[in-house]
Structure 1
Amino acid sequence: MRKTTYLLPILVIAIAALLSSIFIVDEREKALVLQFGRVVTVKEEPGLAFKLPLIQEVVTYDDRILSREVGPLEVTPLDDRRLIVDAFARYRIADVNQFRQAVGAGGVQVAETRLDSILRSQTREVLGSVRSDSVLSTDRVSLMNRIRDAAITDARALGLEVIDVRLKRTDLPQANLEATFARMRAEREREAADEIARGNEAAQRIRAQADRTVVELVSDAKRQSEITRGEADAERNAIFAQSYGADPEFFEFYRSLSAYRSALQADNSTMVMSPDSDFFDYLKSDQGRN
């Protein structure tokens, strides 16, 4: 009975010591066994593992791919056109031993702060070496790859592996945005003014051409009418001459009637002349003066 009394506490202590020396490494994690703050063992394979109770402790780190958002960052490309850039990175803890030595007990929080500094520095350096048009065009893919490659080298000292870096948003600052809109508006107004000026010039050219065509048509019509009138007058005179030659008396009678039509108008019927004037020959007789 006395032996059982002594053995039971020893057994309990032994079981507690055994249980405290066993730990499980999850397949999504990597584990470090620390003894007085110094790394003793690295456990990367999932399953059961052992440590010395009370003397050693276990620290685990996520072995999955992690994401890190980089807050809005202002960069200045070669053309001094400032841009606001948002980015994010995907990374994983590749070397937990080096990671522990680099960040100490701060863990992932300290590592992400230092990774932010690396990403910001490399983003400013890469985007500052090109023009803003390249950042806003399809060339940004190659720029993201350059940022990633540079970040991989710097993050390796932290035991981190940078897998990818992406630029989510690339905008102009509000002041620059308003200035850009004003510049675009002025450019569009200038283009509109140029189009209006070209339209007015074309309209003036067409109007001048139309006026010239009108003058030419009117001049040609007048010329044709004068030619026609001249030909008609010539034909009329020829007819008169022929008629005069055939019957001089009829010609004199016709010319007298034309003179009466022109002289005896409604507003001018008063004439002062001798009654025996030749003008009245055919008024006195249809035979005229014999």
Structure 2
Amino acid sequence: MKLATYGLPALVIAAAAILSSVFIVDEREKALVLQFGEVISVKETPGFYFKIPLIQEVVRYDDRILSIDTDAIEVTPLDDRRLVVDAFARYRIADPVRFRQAVGGAGARAAEIRLTDILLAQMRETLGGVTSNDILSEDRAALMALIRDAARLQAEKIGLTVVDVRLKRSDLPEQNLEATFARMRAEREREAADEIARGEEAAQRVRAQADRTVVELVSDAKRQAEITRGEADGRRTGIYAAAYGADAEFFEFYRSLSAYEEALKGSNSTMVMSPDSDFFNYLKSSTSADK
């Protein structure tokens, strides 16, 4: 009876002691075994481990790659064109003993604050030594590598390894945006005015060339017309001369009939002439005017 009365509590106490002395480290973490606040063992391999209950404690740290985002800060490059930049970093706890010594019991939050300060300082130093065009161009990859390497040297002092650093944003401050947009707008308007002026100049050249071509074509057409008209007049005169030479009497008669037709054309059928006028000579007799 006494054995049952005292044996069961003792068994429970023994089981609790055994359970409190066993701990598990999985593949995603590292563990430190502390005794009175001092590190006495580092457990980095996954598995079961033992500790002394009540005397020793286990502190676990994430062994995966972690991320951190920095606040946006203003940097002043060499060309004094201020930019607002922010970044994110990937890091991991490489040395848990040094990490524990650096941050104590504050844990990951204190480490992130210190790492953020390191990143911001390196961003200001690195980006302040180049121009804004370098920051905004494809060369920014080399700048991020410089920031990462410099931050890695500082982070090793607190047991961290900086895996990567990337700039997320590189913008102008709000107070500079309007001035920058105004300058860009003025540059575009100047370029547009230059293009319009060049277009007007080209149009004037085309119009002048067209006007000269018109004058040349009209002059040539008039010259050809005068030549054709002169040739026609010559041929007409030749035809008249040939007709007159063939039959002078008939030619005179034909010319008189043509003159009658022109004189009596339309509603005008009245003419006042001297009785002895030769105009109606062929209407006076059946003979020619010479007879």
TM-score, normalised with respect to structure 1: 0.80
Whole-Å Cα distance in 1 between the matches of residues 117 and 204 of structure 2?
Answer: 65
Residue identity matched to 1:148: R
Correspondence 1:130 to 2:130: yes
Distance 1:14 1:264, change over 3 A: closer
Distance 1:261 1:5, change over 3 A: closer
Question: In the TM superposition, what is the alpha-carbon distance from 1:233 to its structure 2 partner?
Answer: 1.3
Question: In the TM superposition, what is the alpha-carbon distance from 1:155 to its structure 2 partner?
Answer: 0.5
Whole-Å Cα distance in 2 between the matches of residues 246 and 117 of structure 1?
Answer: 124
Give unmatched runs, 5+ long, in structure 1. none
Deviations 1:99-148 (A, max 9, x none): 12222222211110010111122223333333334433433322222221
Give unmatched runs, 5+ long, in structure 2. none
What does residue 61 of structure 1 align with?
Answer: 61
The alignment yields a C-alpha RMSD, in angstroms, of 3.6
Whole-Å Cα distance in 2 between the matches of residues 182 and 29 of structure 1?
Answer: 54
Question: In the TM superposition, what is the alpha-carbon distance from 1:159 to its structure 2 partner?
Answer: 1.0
Residue identity matched to 1:120: L
Which is further off, 101-110 or 278-287?
A: 278-287
Q: What are the residue-to-residue correspondences of 1:117-266 with 2, within 5 Å?
A: 117-264=117-264, 266=266
Question: In the TM superposition, what is the alpha-carbon distance from 1:149 to its structure 2 partner?
Answer: 0.9
Which is further off, 159-168 or 8-17?
A: 8-17
Deviations 1:167-198 (A, max 9, x none): 23444444545555555555444444444444
Residue identity matched to 1:115: L
Whole-Å Cα distance in 2 between the matches of residues 281 and 3 of structure 1?
Answer: 180
Which is further off, 57-66 or 157-166?
A: 57-66
Question: In the TM superposition, what is the alpha-carbon distance from 1:36 to its structure 2 partner?
Answer: 3.9
Deviations 1:143-172 (A, max 9, x none): 222221111111011111111112234444
What does residue 31 of structure 1 align with?
Answer: 31
Residue identity matched to 2:126: V
Q: What are the residue-to-residue correspondences of 1:86-125 with 2, within 5 Å?
A: 86-125=86-125
Which is further off, 156-165 or 43-52?
A: 43-52
Whole-Å Cα distance in 1 between the matches of residues 228 and 285 of structure 2?
Answer: 38
Question: In the TM superposition, what is the alpha-carbon distance from 1:234 to its structure 2 partner?
Answer: 1.4
What does residue 288 of structure 2 align with?
Answer: 288
What does residue 279 of structure 1 align with?
Answer: 279
Distance 1:245 1:69, change over 3 A: same
SS at match of 1:278: coil
Deviations 1:255-280 (A, max 9, x none): 43444445455576665542112233
Distance 1:94 1:172, change over 3 A: same
Residue identity matched to 1:238: G
Whole-Å Cα distance in 2 between the matches of residues 214 and 4 of structure 1?
Answer: 130
